[in-house]
Amino acid sequence: MKRKDLSLNTRIVCALVASMVSIAAVGARPGAKAPAPRPTLVVGIFVEGLTAEYVDLLRSNFTDGGFERLISDGVTLRNVDYGPGMDATAATAVIVSGAAPVVNGVPSAKAWDITTRREYPILLDPKLAGSYSEQQLTPAPLLVSTLSDEIRISDGGLGQVHSIAPDPQIALLLAGHAGNSSFWISDVNGKWTTSSHFRETPTPIARRNVGLTLASRLDTMAWEPSISLDRYPDLPEYKKLYPFRHTFPSRDTDRFKIFKTSAISNREVATTAAEYISTLSLGKRGVTDMLSIGVNVSPYLYGREADNRIETMDALLRLDRDIASIVKAVENGPGMANTLLFVAGTPAPSGGKRDEERWGIPSGEFSPRKAVSLLNMYLMALHGNGEWVSGYHNGFFYLNRSLIKERGMNDADLRREGAEFLARMSGVSDVYTLDDIIARRAGDDPTALHRNISANHAGDLLVMVNPGWEVTDGEEYESVKTAEERAQLPVVRWQATTSPVYILSPGLDASEIIERIDARAIAPTLARILRIRSPNAASAAPIQSILFNQISN
């Protein structure tokens, strides 16, 4: 009897073992691998004015550790599409939040106060309208969460999030609402400055603001070609005769502002970023940290000539070395095997200097103040005396909605009348009413135009000025006084707002995607790579080809 029981027990055990083996065999896919370790450091580099065409043109001159490494080892998204009318500030908000301006509340760098009739920075604390200092800027006007916020939340606040950039609003957007610190270079004294929203001052910032100030070094700094002139590709012979040289003398009261638009300001940011990684032990603390950096390779507007392509190429060559220095700091810290590094291009300012008269390019001057006056006179003739037009800002004409309400009139009717009048003015190619924009009836891509405005900031009539024309006296150009300053006024240029994005992360094979990618898809894609939730307004789907690439590895 005991032998029978023993034999029965043996058969039962064997059956159980066989079942477990078969289950394991079914559950395990042939060739399946464990997912790549979650990165402990995220480095985001946001580059205003970056284009895939210039990267391709200069690739043979790049170092191994900068753009060449991003292209050879990472994922290249050649055409990330922001849609129409997007500046670098608004584009940065789209990348970090995964949401368009109609949702995130950041349609441009500047907005218009209909009460004071003055422009103000879009990130100015709403409670402080009417006054302005850099310390009063805050991420609060960004109405949604960001990737950096979600990184902080995912580790219960143990991860650190920092940002640095020459521009204050870019720096604030990169830090998000929950960041530890956000610093930028002051236009006034050249020191690293922050908002009252943040409390921390990292050691690299404290050191630079005391013993290594920009003001003490700027007199000795100059921006000159970083390679011999004959090595710049596609450069006309006459441009190779006289190398450029840009300085920032102490007698120039705007020298810090001008310096921030130059290529050598990127070195200041990159050097500081490398110190953040080493000094703060970012990526080496068992949680995920993030460092976001803003730099600029947009066409330089403070030179003597309209043709500034050599400065643009040199800025990109210098940035390549700056990226390589950041990569080296990462390798000396947590290592690239533990790091997600991405470089995101954002649109350059759409204008540039007017071409010389000898080329005969059609041009003209569009005066918003004259247009406001004429439109007001026209509406007075139709509806009686009153100040029917409040002002103009960034392409929008603002009607006096208080007067319209007081007279018991219909806003939409006045907008339609105003559009019909403005469309007949010289230099105007088209006019869209706010009603048409909201109803998605305006422009070549009505949905994209609607997506890229914020109803809380938009005016009543959007005017499209002819390419080649100058907008001479809008609020944004009120400080322009001299003939030399007038030469800096941007000429209207219509251009596609697409930029490249490069992603380098453990588990991602090198690949290139040439199809257009909605810029709103970047944040959820990065979040999926990090295995955290997406920002709360990121409604676009992650880029599936990148995620499949990661899974298949």
Residues 141-158 have pLDDT tens digits of 999 999 999 999 999 999
**Could you tell me the two tokens for 205?**
């910032």
Bridge partner residues of 365 (DSSP): 470
Q: Is 536 exposed, middle or buried (0-12, 13-18, 19+ CB in 10 A)?
A: middle
Torsion sign across C-alpha atoms 329, 330, 334, 336: negative
The position carrying tokens 């292209």 is 71
Cα torsion angle, 198, 200, 206, 208, sign: negative
The residues with which 518 forms a beta bridge, in sequence order, are 81
What are the residue boundaries of the structural domains of the chain, listed by start?
41-218+251-350+497-549, 365-492
Q: Using alpha carbons, list the distances in angstroms from residue 5 to 15, 224, 336, 408.
A: 15, 92, 60, 98
**528, 154 in Cβ contact below 8 A?**
no
Q: Residue 266: name the closest of 290, 229, 219, 298 by CA.
A: 298
pLDDT at 356: 72
Per-residue model confidence (pLDDT) at position 363: 86
Q: What is the pLDDT of residue 354?
A: 73
Beta pairing, strands 192-193 & 222-223: unpaired
E strand intervals along 233-298: 246-247, 289-296
* DSSP letter (8 states) at residue 68: H
User: What's the pLDDT tens digit per position in 5-55?
Assistant: 545 455 544 454 444 444 444 444 555 566 778 999 999 999 999 999 999
What contacts 232, CB < 8 A, 6 or more positions away?
Answer: 225, 239, 240, 310, 313, 314
Contacts of 539 (CB under 8 A, 6+ apart): 98, 99, 520
Which backbone phi and psi does 151 adopt, to 5 degrees?
A: -65, -45
Hey, do 41-218+251-350+497-549 and 365-492 end up sharing a CATH topology, with the first three levels equal? no
Closest CA to 54 of 212, 263, 253: 263
Yes or no: domain 41-218+251-350+497-549 corresponds to CATH 3.40.50.2000: no
- CA separation for the pair 315, 65 (Å, rounded): 17
Residue type, 544: Q
| Residue ranges of the chain with per-residue pLDDT less than 50 | 1-4, 6, 8, 12-14, 16-28, 130, 479-487
CB–CB of 93/104 below 8 Å?
Answer: yes
What residues contact 252, with CB distance under 8 A and at least 6 apart? 258
| Residue 283 backbone dihedrals phi, psi, to 5 degrees | 80, 5
CA distances from 330 to 203, 456, 483, 503, 508 (A): 18, 42, 47, 15, 18
Q: Please tell me the distance from the alpha carbon of residue 181 to that of residue 197, in angstroms, as a whole number.
A: 9
Q: What CATH number belongs to 365-492?
A: 3.30.1360.150
> For tokens 């003597």, what's the residue?
304
Tell the residue number behind the tokens 């109609």, with chain if given.
102
Q: What is the pTM of this model?
A: 0.90
Q: How does 245-257 read in b/e, with b if 16+ C-beta sit within 10 Å? A: ebbbeeeeeebbb
For residues 296 and 261, is the Cβ–Cβ distance under 8 A?
yes
Length of the chain in terms of residues written: 553
CA distance 88 to 103: 17
Cα(288)–Cα(505) distance, integer angstroms: 14
**By the 8 A CB rule, do 43 and 289 touch?**
no
Is the separation of the CB atoms in 386 and 528 below 8 Å? no
Q: Would you call 23 exposed, middle or buried from its count of C-beta atoms within 10 A (0-12, 13-18, 19+)?
A: exposed
CA distance 320 to 344: 14
